[in-house]
Structure 1
Amino acid sequence: MSDALINGLAGAGGGIIAQLITYPLQTVNTRQQTNRDPKGKKNLGTFQQMCQVVKHEGWERLYGGLTPSLVGTATSQGVYYYFYQIFRNRAEAAALEKKMLGTGDGSVGMLSSLVVAALSGCVNVLLTNPIWLVVTRMQTHRKESKRALTDPRLSDAIKQSTLSTIEPRAYGTSHVIQEVYDEAGVLGFWKGVLPTLVMVSNPSIQFMLYETLLAKLKRGRASNSVTAIEIFLLGAIAKLGATVVTYPLLVVKARLQARQVNNGDKRHHYKGTWDAIIKMIQYEGFNGFYKGMGTKIVQSVLAAAVLFMVKEELVNQTRFLLSKPKLV
């Protein structure tokens, strides 16, 4: 089994475990990002919004889109780590070749690490964007509760309007796929791909920080080994730095991929990336680009730390099992 395949499978396994642990936070964060309330209006906190979802829509809505999300996580992490290892191996070979020619020390520098992560991210985005678009639609879909429809404070007109927006059948994966196709055809599955491609800078920055911190940590040790807890902390620090830098792009991507309601309100409809950016600044101010950032930091840092820790353990255990001599 090749090293790239080992890393790809380990990345998929680590991603699934991290996703299962942090998914409710991800759902709440996606709703916060796609909230189009005007500037000045106070938004609910993470815990408050989670309670609101459970109260009005049920526990299951916190896990809306979990199935395609797990498929997307396994696919994207597998693809990313597979190509990352291939590009990394080539970068290391090039670095060793330069050392033999007397023009380097044989190590992969920060710039090369950034390029390797960026190339891997671009391949991943182009292959998996349709899956994440479906997940975003399912996470932002709001299920109307019976309590809301029977509220005596609501007028008959509002109740009828609410009833007309409820989906005639379960809002499942196949329904979302058909909805996206009806809206924009095949190309509709690549909505938000431009900011998502720019967002490859997030894992690029993350892996650059991670590899740099890991190399420095190993350099001071004779055994050249690190513990699972240290990997956990390095992954958390790297993800925190990357998230703070790139969060506005994540909000724009979520806005473009969420279902847009054509009700005459310009705030609720975006023609493209630049249209979304301009309207967000106009109607929500620059604070709109940072909606839900606190939730995202908690969710992404925890998920990244778990992913790195589990992935490294899986890689080490797999290599150990493959290196054991076979009994004849």
Structure 2
Amino acid sequence: MVSDSFVHACAGGAGGLVAMTATYPLMGISTRAAIDQSKNPGESLAKAVTKVIAKEGLLGLYDGLGSSLIGIGVSNFVYYFFFEATRDFVLRAKQATSAASLGTLTTLESIGAGLISGIATAFISNPIWVVNTRQTIRAVVPEKDADGQLTRKVRRLSFLETMKGIVKQDGIGALWKGIGPALVLVTNPVLQYTVFEQLKGWVLKSRSARASKHAAQPLLGDFDFFWLGALSKLVATAVTYPQIVIKSRQQAMTNESLQGKKMPNVWTAMTDVIQDEGIVGLYRGISSKMLQSILTAAILFSSKERIFAMTKSR
């Protein structure tokens, strides 16, 4: 019999694919804005979208979609597998020593499960996101042609072609560029799922208290999972966005752009951004990222729970 952890992992992966496909243009705009190191104020979302379409066509909004779908599928599968396995272990341990509860984790338990899941996900999925970042920004980073002249010609390479190019140019270690801020960003899903679990527990407890003793156990519907997912992601993204900017910039760096210098650590990178661009530099692209993150989380949570329920009913 397939375990609930595995079903949750599959449902999470499938839900992630649906959510990413629906919101990918917003993610691309956010990534482009995050690596912009000019001192000019950021463009509005509408202007940024129009600019990309004018220069690269409608497909420009979907550069890197393939690698992002691989990344989100792998990331969500790994994260949900470890999170649900840890959650089940903790709940079984609690039920062995006390009466059965509503099946929710405490704040500390959610944080612990999130840390374990996040660290595993960061190491396994980082190479995919490096490829995605390079694909997304390829059209906005000057490249040299056969004669050594700078060109902005758009070249769309496949996932494997991009990965091979990275390894050939910068070595296999380049696939883990940005792992420092990626590990710091483990706090993003930790915050997200902690807020989600606590809000979920609060809603269930509130509805249970209002229900009669003979009423069925209160359940959460699709809309509940939608707004719980959106609100929890809003909190997480607002707190951790500067690390998203640093990670994107490090993943976009090549040996040529570093000019023989060592990759700066997270703290040094943040300090450099503030000195060169001001504090606003740490929040470039946050508007499109917030919108994308909220919609992604809302779609992900609602579709994941629906897919899980449909799978278990068979």
Matched, 1:93 2:92: yes
Q: What is aligned with 2:239?
A: 245
SS at the partner of 1:221?
helix
Cα distance between partner residues in 1 of 2:258 and 2:166: 20
Q: What is aligned with 1:256?
A: 250
Q: What is aligned with 1:154?
A: none
C-alpha contact (below 8 Å) 1:95/1:107 kept by paired residues? no
Q: What is aligned with 1:200?
A: 186
CA-atom RMSD, angstroms?
A: 2.9
Cα distance between partner residues in 2 of 1:204 and 1:27: 24
C-alpha contact (below 8 Å) 1:79/1:124 kept by paired residues? yes
Matched, 1:118 2:104: no
Matches within 5 A, 1:1-328: 1-38=2-39, 41-99=40-98, 108-142=105-139, 163-166=149-152, 170-222=156-208, 223-260=217-254, 262=256, 271-321=264-314
Cα distance between partner residues in 2 of 1:304 and 1:86: 21
C-alpha contact (below 8 Å) 2:67/2:132 kept by paired residues? yes
Which ranges in structure 2 are unaligned for 5 or more consecutive residues? 209-216
C-alpha contact (below 8 Å) 1:237/1:301 kept by paired residues? yes
Cα distance between partner residues in 2 of 1:295 and 1:66: 16
Q: Over residues 168-225 of structure 1, what are the superposed CA-to-partner deviations in whole Å (9 max), with x where a residue is unaligned?
A: 9643323321232134322111100111011010100100110111111112335320
Question: What amino acid is the match of 1:68?
Answer: S
Q: How many residues align?
A: 303
SS at the partner of 1:44?
coil
Cα distance between partner residues in 2 of 1:54 and 1:165: 19
Alpha-carbon distance change, 169 to 56 in structure 1, aligned in 2, over 3 angstroms: closer
Cα distance between partner residues in 2 of 1:18 and 1:264: 34
SS at the partner of 2:207?
coil
Cα distance between partner residues in 2 of 1:201 and 1:289: 17
C-alpha displacement of 1:270: 5.0
C-alpha contact (below 8 Å) 2:138/2:154 kept by paired residues? no
Cα distance between partner residues in 1 of 2:6 and 2:36: 40
Which ranges in structure 1 are unaligned for 5 or more consecutive residues? 145-158, 322-328
Cα distance between partner residues in 2 of 1:166 and 1:27: 18
C-alpha displacement of 1:162: 9.4
Considering only CA atoms, is the larger Rg found in Structure 1 or Structure 2? Answer: 1
Deviates more, 1:213-222 or 1:43-52: 213-222
Q: TM-score scaled by structure 2?
A: 0.88
Q: Over residues 262-303 of structure 1, what are the superposed CA-to-partner deviations in whole Å (9 max), with x where a residue is unaligned?
A: 47999x995443442232122111111111111111000000
- Percentage of matched positions with identical amino acids: 32
Cα distance between partner residues in 2 of 1:297 and 1:17: 18
Alpha-carbon distance change, 201 to 169 in structure 1, aligned in 2, over 3 angstroms: closer
